[in-house]
Structure 1
């Protein structure tokens, strides 16, 4: 797949109108980009969620569709280039979809400069760590985000940060980011800039960050800016699945690879994937950064590799979602999902935080222990 990156600010002032007929209704996307560029970045499907009916299927982050690690890295590098280098960068992203994106951009930033870059993501996992604060994401099926205080060895460096980079795969109104900023800024007295970063920026006139009264300048970075609206089909009335995972995960969870901050890039030894044929690497939930690094290293050896992730977001099989595998979660009788799963003629490796039976959903699947 070829992705076409363009500088939105240099394009024509006239918006193009793109119509998508999806199961939920008629979706209108207005942007300065042509259809070829749009189709290389996003598609659309429908949530099993009465709060928000459509979902952007991002084709660059290895979330809902199998994606080459090299394409993911190109995306990280492009966003990092737009953000620019600087002293003391603190990168934060939102669970669950953007944990891998945030880590990847932080990784690319760290590799491009000699200055410290710290990364942390919100989480829906309960840890035996000091909670910094919580953030609610009103439109999500799983509302609560936990944000833990960074580990002691990183905390004193993070609070000296000059640049706060907040990353999400898509930003619709900025409400969740506004809530996050209202809580985090008090802990970052030396901050000189906030950079709101996304692949798709849909805020336009709906930007709730415009009403946030802060002294720190806010800059916006994205690969695609657009307006979006849905004329809903009156007959489309989804409800959440009965086994959807909407609460906190109380199972044993690792704090050291993002939930309590991490100095980038990750520099500990990883157990390399051994495969000589076309390979599918499957990450699990919020644990996306380490699987990406392993998939990327395998691809660099000349193996054809695709990356995707198991996630808790309930989506209908329609439009860009061709198939759906339900996977028993390890706690509380809930289920997670893998979309657009095509294992035929591939070696398939699942990389989770901990091995557990629910992930071994096919005889063809191998659990890969990532620790070196």
Structure 2
């Protein structure tokens, strides 16, 4: 991927052209960049294996496809929290310069995050934050975690849970996995009239946000919604659709982001120019060492899930992931627990460490990783199919595919794990499953060029 940037006197009027692969080109017109964040600090681009959308903004702060310092990833959510206070409530945030510094200079992020967690931001009224699965579960949780009181959080999920009916369901049209479900333990979570903050990493058209707003408004009406994203690339026609929904439903929708602009897509991807992602079929010489974390301070929920094959997993979920709802008070307790678990895992480290969340299970391992000392990087497995290419500046250099332990009909991927970079890997699983369902994951782990591998489970 090659990049050409033409700038005027301000970073807020910036044009950048990206040659992704072959004839596929993206031109970005940045209209708003309130915190003057360099684009190269926020994302790279890659070709996506998806007929509905052939490209992907690969975030350098999200902690999904690319390794990131875990504290910097949390700060990206806190930057959105600061943006919310400034844009929606006209409140100044004195910590904003430090938050921005921690995103741009990730080596400083741990100290900055620790300070902010000790002195959280305050909301003028109660808000409900909703993160979108699977990519924005940690981003939404991080934004919510910036506030000390008056906030609640829940994220949508792809999981089908037997014992709890889904409160709302909606579709994500452009995605490779379209169905979202919603399982709040507090049945009154959506009954209040407080504003709802919908959190996603990137908005291209805004259809997902419009779909969930329409669904919520049908059953749990209110007056105000806020759509928060790191990147907002809606076209004038997309903006018009937001205005039309406001008029139709009698509501207000406020969009906030770190970067706002428009994109032009030119050319198409020649599939033959993209390297193919091959499944991992190497028989592992040795399984990863299993480390079990005590969860006495965490709540286990005896819910069972059912996948597309009809397999039922009866092993419990963790309540504090955000999938079932969290309050500000529960969040403060969670931070203490995750810090202790990170300090416990630190004893297994020998050098440079990669911590990896799995699917929607991102925030808990991210915060554990943030307490494991210096030299720790974090990313997550993903459903998102991306063309890897060994091309300078291209976002995804290599890929390792495997069948998801939660559903073997779903392929998962681990991206960008180079040789001779990491001394150990800690891969976190929220729930266990059958031994047979771990075989494909173990085979993929055997291919990773990391000498020491640990599978972290929760007792």
The alignment's TM-score, normalised by the length of structure 1, stands at 0.84
Give the paired residue count.
Answer: 347
Residue 40 of structure 1 and its aligned partner are, at CA, apart by 0.7
Q: Which has the higher helix share?
A: 2
| CA deviation after TM superposition for structure 1 residue 33, in Å | 6.8
Aligned twin of 1:119: 153
User: Structure 1 residue 192: deviation in Å?
Assistant: 4.7
Written as runs of structure 1 = structure 2, the 5 A alignment for 1:102-141 is: 102-109=140-147, 113-115=148-150, 117-128=151-162, 129-141=164-176
Q: 2:135 aligns with which of 92, 97, 101?
A: 97
Equivalences for residues 258-269 of structure 1 within 5 A: 258-264=322-328, 265=331, 267-268=333-334, 269=337
| Mapped partners of 2:201, 2:455: distance in 1 | 27
The alignment partner of 1:29 has SS state of strand
Partner residue of 1:176 out of 203, 208, 213: 208
TM-score (norm: length of structure 2): 0.69
**Runs (5+) with no aligned partner, structure 2:** 1-8, 86-122, 280-306, 433-437
Alignment partner, residue 251 of structure 2 = 216
Q: Distance in 1 between matches of 2:37 and 2:333?
A: 38
Shift of 1:119: 1.2
Q: How far apart are 1:26 and its partner, in Å?
A: 1.3
Contact 1:104–1:289 under 8 Å retained in 2:
yes
Contact 1:350 1:366 in 2 (8 A): yes
CA distance in 2, matches of 1:298, 1:98: 23
SS of residue in 2 equivalent to 1:292: helix
Task: Give per-residue Cα distances to partners, 1:57-84, cap 9 Å, x unaligned.
Answer: 0111111110001211221211111112
In 2, the alpha carbon distance for the partners of 1:14 and 1:108 equals: 26
Per the TM alignment, residue 106 of structure 1 is displaced from its structure 2 partner at its CA by 1.1
> How much does 1:334 deviate?
3.8
Measured after TM superposition, the shift of residue 39 of structure 1 is: 0.7
Give deviations 1:169-216, integer Å, cap 9, x for gaps: 001111111110111124444x45311100000114123322202333
> Which structure has the larger Rg?
2
**Counterpart position of 1:8:** none
Cross-structure match for 1:49: 50
8 Å contact kept, 1:125–1:248: no
For 1:255 and 1:368, the matched residues in 2 are separated by: 14
Give the RMSD, CA atoms, in angstroms.
2.9
The whole-number CA distance in structure 2 between the counterparts of 1:353 and 1:215 is 40
Structure 2 counterpart SS, 1:165: strand
2:378 to 307, 313, 326: 307
Distance 1:183 1:334, change over 3 A: closer
Distance in 2 of aligned mates of 1:139 and 1:147: 19
Change (3 A) 1:14 1:87: closer
